[in-house]
């Protein structure tokens, strides 16, 4: 699992770089096309597909990520919507997937990445139980109390519950097997197809969220998992957040930016959008190249925009060395890895951008850096 996690993280990193190029070039094309151009229909499709691919890489990073669990208020319906991109690929074309959101109160305390893992594990189990195809239904509803068979300490006496139900039309589970399904390493699958950790993980996550899980199954008719989560108040909305597409870009003025990334296509796209926005740009294909440019440059380097994971030298160490040459430089890190940014390793006031990001988002961050500099 450790090796597989590392592989997934590496694949996601490479795909995030490619998606940055696709998304960035589509932004540049959007700028260049007349508003009435019929080609905008195709451009819109490219952008939508890029966003879906971004969601898939996010799922890969979730799988590979090692992080402390952070319970916070999340909208279950929104979380399920974000999972819709990945689930059809997990299930295959012979399984019909249906979502039914009936819960009027859908906010729970959970960790988003863990919730995605729960849904994925239950979906995979359902797929394996429907060898000849079938139907998987994921639904939500509310309840005022737990079922009678719930543990006495579940939910700490919550007044209202959000139920996530995952039901399939598979082979079902007999009573003897049902008594063991949440035990670690218990599996009815062949050794090459199951570790016995999927449902044990689901059980652990639900309990960690102060919830309750129950299973109903009939042989030959299917299985239904019901996950009870204590309802919580919605997270406060932030009306001041500006969507990337709405950002008004200011001129780069006299600012000089050193761009460092070993992915050539991505670097070229970033440099082009920065220059078209009025910035003076220095371009480096590696950390040693960036150090050489920084040492030879006679003027100021106002901003360092660098990838973190690169050959020879990580972006964090590169920033430390460039600060010695240009003490006033402001640093913006970017990375396709979910765990590439550690605040304790970077200069004060550094900014981090998770690839793939929109160029409009980068320009907005640059605007903020220049205002505080």
72-230 and 244-372 in the same fold: no
Question: In the prediction, which pLDDT does 226 show?
Answer: 95
Question: In the prediction, which pLDDT does 371 show?
Answer: 74
Single pTM value for the model: 0.55
Domain 244-372 has CATH 3.40.50.2300: yes
* Residue ranges in the chain whose pLDDT is less than 50: 65-68, 153, 238-249, 340-344
Q: Residue 273, class by beta-carbon neighbours within 10 Å (0-12 exposed, 13-18 middle, 19+ buried)?
A: buried
Topology of domain 72-230 in CATH is Heat Shock Protein 90 (3.30.565)
Question: In the prediction, which pLDDT does 2 show?
Answer: 60
258-294 pLDDT per residue, tens: 999 998 988 998 998 899 889 999 999 999 999 999 9
The structural domains of the chain, with segments of one domain joined by +, span: 2-63, 72-230, 244-372
Question: In the prediction, which pLDDT does 66 show?
Answer: 42
Pick the closest to residue 122 from 12, 227, 211, 229 (CA basis).
227
């Amino acid at each position: 699992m450790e090796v597989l996690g590392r592989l997934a993280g590496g694949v996601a990193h490479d795909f995030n770089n490619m998606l940055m190029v696709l998304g960035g070039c589509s932004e540049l094309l959007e700028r260049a096309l007349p508003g009435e151009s019929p080609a905008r229909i195709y451009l819109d499709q490219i952008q939508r597909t890029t966003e879906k691919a971004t969601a898939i890489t996010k799922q890969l990073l979730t799988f590979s990520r090692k992080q402390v669990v952070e319970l916070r208020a999340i909208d279950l319906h929104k979380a399920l919507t974000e999972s819709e991109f990945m689930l059809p690929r997990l299930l295959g074309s012979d399984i019909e997937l249906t979502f039914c959101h009936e819960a009027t109160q859908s906010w729970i305390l959970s960790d988003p990445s863990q919730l995605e893992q729960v849904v994925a594990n239950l979906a995979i189990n359902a797929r394996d139980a429907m060898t000849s195809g079938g139907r998987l239904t994921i639904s939500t509803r509310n309840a005022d109390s737990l079922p009678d068979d719930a543990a006495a300490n579940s939910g700490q006496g919550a007044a209202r519950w959000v139920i996530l139900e995952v039901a399939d039309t598979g082979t079902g589970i007999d009573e003897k097997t049902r008594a063991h399904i949440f035990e670690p390493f218990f599996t009815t699958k062949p050794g090459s197809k199951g570790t016995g950790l999927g449902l044990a993980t689901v059980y652990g996550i639900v309990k960690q969220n102060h919830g309750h899980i129950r299973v109903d199954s009939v042989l030959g008719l299917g299985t239904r998992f019901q996950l009870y989560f204590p309802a919580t108040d919605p997270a406060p909305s932030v009306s001041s957040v500006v969507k990337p597409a709405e950002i008004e870009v200011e001129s780069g003025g006299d600012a000089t930016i050193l761009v460092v990334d070993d992915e050539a296509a991505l670097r070229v796209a970033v440099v082009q959008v920065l220059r078209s926005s009025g910035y003076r740009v220095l371009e480096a294909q590696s950390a040693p190249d960036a150090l050489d440019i920084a040492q030879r440059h006679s003027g100021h380097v106002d901003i360092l925009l660098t990838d973190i994971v690169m050959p020879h030298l990580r972006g964090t160490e590169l920033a430390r060395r460039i600060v010695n040459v240009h003490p006033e430089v402001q640093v913006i890190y970017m990375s396709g890895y979910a765990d590439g940014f550690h605040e304790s390793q970077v200069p004060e006031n550094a900014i981090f951008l998770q690839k793939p990001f929109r160029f409009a988002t980068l320009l907005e961050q640059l605007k903020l850096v220049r205002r505080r500099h």
